[in-house]
Amino acid sequence: MYMVIKKMVKYIQMSFCSGGYMSQSNEVMFSPELVSFIEEWKTKPGNLIMVLHKVQEEFHYISREAADKVAEMLDVPLASIWGVVSFYHFFKLTKPGKHNIQVCMGTACYLKGGQGVLEELGSQLKIPAGAVTEDGIFSLEGVRCLGCCGLAPVMSIGGEVYGKVTKTQIPKILAALRQA
Ligand code: FES
């Protein structure tokens, strides 16, 4: 709950308290594919979630500028967008690192040491879950079941699944990613 409130405060600060609302200089560029997707969904029911999914697919998070642009294109209040992104855990409000490390916290992984893997990663990267390293290379998060429980404990980095992860493997995995 604390994290959710922290995220809300941060987002509201970003949205309304710095740089000015609808700042043209910060305007984000949507790809032609994204623009035509929004045009296609503009009048359909449930369009806001679909559009925000697509925006996150393109940028990996929902920035203030992207939210502004969606509000303008769909002609909906910014508050409606904020309502959706804050309700669904899936949406991210901060830019993830170059390598976003997702550690499964589902039951099977938890029982097989997923929490320890997450803590070890946090200790080596010097960030808590939900944060990004200062150099922007890594971000770390605990996620729900990744669907390959037989490989527990599991983590996923950039779509690649790492199964039966042990704490001792972590330095080598991080070093390889740093060089990638
Ligand atoms: S519980 Fe971790 S992959 Fe299912």
Q: Side by side, which strands form the sheet with 99-104?
A: 138-143, 99-104, 155-157, 160-162
Q: What's the pTM?
A: 0.72
pLDDT tens digits along 110-129: 999 999 999 999 999 999 99
Which one, of 40, 115, 112, 102, lies nearest residue 74 by Cα? Answer: 40
Q: What are phi and psi of 57, to 5 degrees?
A: -60, -40
- Distance (angstroms) between ligand 1 centre and the Cα of 163 equals 10
Band of pLDDT at residue 27, cut at 50, 70 and 90? confident
C-alpha span between 45 and 127 (Å, rounded): 40
Question: Exposed, middle or buried, 158 (CB in 10 Å: 0-12/13-18/19+)?
Answer: exposed
- Which atom of ligand 1 lies nearest, measured to the CA of 148? 3
Nearest residue by C-alpha to atom 3 in ligand 1: 149
**From ligand 1's centre to the CA of 25, what distance in Å?**
43
Q: Which residues of 129-145 are buried (b: 16+ CB within 10 A; e: fewer)?
A: bebbeeeeebbbbbbee
Reading phi first (left if > 0) and then psi (alpha if -120 to 50, else beta), residue 44 is in beta
Extents of the domains making up the chain: 2-87, 99-179
Distance from Cα 176 to the centre of ligand 1, integer Å = 24
Nearest ligand 1 atom to alpha carbon 107: 1
As for ligand 1, residues whose beta carbon falls within 6 Å of it are 104, 106-109, 145-149, 152, 154
Distance CA 28, CA 61 (A): 13
pLDDT digits (tens, 9 = 90+) for 45-95: 889 999 999 999 999 999 999 999 999 999 999 999 999 998 888 898 889
Look up the CATH architecture of domain 99-179: 3-Layer(aba) Sandwich (3.40)
Choose the residue to mutate in 154, 155, 165 for probing ligand 1, maximizing ligand atoms within 8 Å of C-beta: 154
Secondary structure percentages of the chain, helix, strand, coil, to 5: 55, 10, 35
DSSP-derived 3-state class of residue 139: strand
